[in-house]
């Protein structure tokens, strides 16, 4: 049986951990789903498993609504991540399985683990694409079905890093997916192209610390791999409208005063 994914650096006071996956299938799947701890990695303790619900949506019930509300919003994402063939198959899917749940200030990641266990089961039964809504990433059903049930937690499976131009030859970088852990997403601005790797490492390392249960607040500071100090501030979307985060986020800026150190991985 799968042991629950822990948060070894857990600090109380975070937000709700939320996850939402949408699995698309050309065929109707069994009800109830034959999910198991041993085969699919459903955690055997904690409230994660009970926090996750599955709701089936069928195209036949309301074809226009199904296309407009369930499939079409993810068509570009699927095409970008998986290619036009996968996107075409998703648009033609007749069934969707929405897997979602929320845990208040979770002290482990059982809810994330349970959602993927259920997604693995759904994909073994015939789903062909899974959209990780909060991480804005699409997965082939075959890849989700192949997930090892006893695998260790991998932050980069749960969080996506994005880069885009903001003018002046600079980039913005940000994360999506930290909502799963009840933590704000992260932003780095004014990234020179030759510093993109360092920005990605900063985002990865801070995301790892937050997934492990640490917290980051305005005024906290971290040290980048180069030794440069960065300080956390609340992110104002008006500073960089290209940054597509939802809700509160933290921007990491060049240090300009005294701050509390936040250890990263």
pLDDT grade for 258, boundaries at 50, 70 and 90: very low
pLDDT grade for 260, boundaries at 50, 70 and 90: very low
* CA angle, 99 then 74 then 159, to 5°: 65
Q: How crowded is residue 135: how many other Cβ atoms within 10 Å of its Cβ?
A: 24
pLDDT in tens, 107-134: 999 999 999 999 999 999 999 999 999 9
Whether residue 176 is contained in a domain is answered as: yes
Same domain, 128 and 245: no
Total tally of structural domains belonging to the chain: 2
Same domain, 81 and 144: yes
Same domain, 92 and 219: no
Same domain, 169 and 89: no
Same domain, 67 and 26: yes
DSSP state of 67: I
Whether residue 7 is contained in a domain is answered as: no
Distance CA 230, CA 173 (A): 14
pLDDT at 33 (0 to 100): 84
Whether residue 171 is contained in a domain is answered as: yes
Gap between the terminal Cα atoms of the chain = 28
pLDDT in tens, 26-77: 999 998 888 877 888 788 777 787 899 999 999 999 999 999 999 999 999 9
Which of 126, 153, 180 is at the close of a domain? 153
For range 199-227, the mean pLDDT: 91
pLDDT in tens, 150-186: 999 999 999 999 999 998 899 999 999 999 999 999 9
Whether residue 2 is contained in a domain is answered as: no
Whether residue 9 is contained in a domain is answered as: no
Same domain, 134 and 204: no
Whether residue 6 is contained in a domain is answered as: no
Same domain, 149 and 177: no
| Strand duo 220-223 + 260-261: pairing | parallel
Inform me whether the pLDDT recorded for 226 exceeds 80.
no
Q: How crowded is residue 16: how many other Cβ atoms within 10 Å of its Cβ?
A: 15
In degrees to the nearest 10, what's the CA dihedral of 199, 239, 183, 145? Answer: -60
Inform me whether the pLDDT recorded for 256 exceeds 90.
no
Whether residue 138 is contained in a domain is answered as: yes
Same domain, 148 and 170: no
- Write down the pTM of the prediction: 0.92
Q: Which domain holds residue 235?
A: 159-261
pLDDT at 46 (0 to 100): 72
| Enclosing H/E stretch for 54 | strand 52-58
Distance CA 43, CA 26 (A): 28
Which of 153, 179, 207 is at the close of a domain? 153
DSSP state of 189: E
DSSP state of 29: P
pLDDT grade for 259, boundaries at 50, 70 and 90: very low
Distance CA 53, CA 102 (A): 10
Same domain, 123 and 170: no
Same domain, 43 and 149: yes
93 and 26 in contact (C-beta within 8 Å)? Answer: yes
Distance CA 164, CA 136 (A): 15
Which of 153, 169, 201 is at the close of a domain? 153
Same domain, 144 and 105: yes
123: Cβ–Cβ under 8 A, 6 or more apart, which residues?
23, 130, 141, 142, 144, 145
Same domain, 129 and 183: no
pLDDT at 255 (0 to 100): 67
Distance CA 22, CA 86 (A): 15
């Amino acid at each position: 049986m799968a042991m629950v994914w822990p948060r070894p650096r857990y600090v109380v006071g975070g937000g709700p951990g939320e996850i939402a996956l949408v699995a698309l299938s050309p065929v109707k799947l069994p009800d109830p789903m034959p999910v198991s701890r041993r085969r699919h990695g459903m955690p055997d303790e904690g409230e994660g498993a009970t926090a996750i619900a599955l709701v089936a949506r069928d195209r036949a019930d309301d074809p226009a609504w199904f296309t407009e509300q369930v499939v079409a919003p993810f068509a570009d994402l699927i095409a970008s991540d998986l290619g036009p063939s996968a996107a075409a198959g998703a648009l033609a899917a007749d069934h969707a399985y929405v897997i979602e749940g929320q845990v208040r200030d979770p002290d482990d990641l059982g809810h994330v683990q349970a959602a993927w266990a259920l997604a693995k089961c759904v994909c073994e039964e015939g789903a062909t694409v899974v959209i990780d809504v909060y991480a804005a990433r699409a997965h082939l059903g075959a890849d989700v079905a192949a997930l090892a049930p006893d695998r260790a937690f991998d932050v980069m499976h749960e969080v996506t890093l994005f880069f885009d131009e903001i003018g002046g030859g600079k980039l913005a970088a940000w994360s999506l997916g930290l909502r799963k852990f009840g933590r704000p997403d992260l932003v780095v601005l004014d990234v020179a192209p030759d510093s993109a790797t360092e920005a990605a490492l900063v985002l990865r390392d801070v995301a790892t610390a937050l997934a492990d249960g640490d917290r980051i607040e305005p005024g906290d500071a971290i040290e980048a791999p180069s030794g440069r100090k960065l300080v956390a501030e609340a992110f104002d979307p008006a500073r960089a409208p290209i940054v597509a985060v939802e809700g509160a986020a933290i921007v990491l800026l060049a240090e300009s005063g005294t701050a509390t150190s936040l250890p990263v991985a």
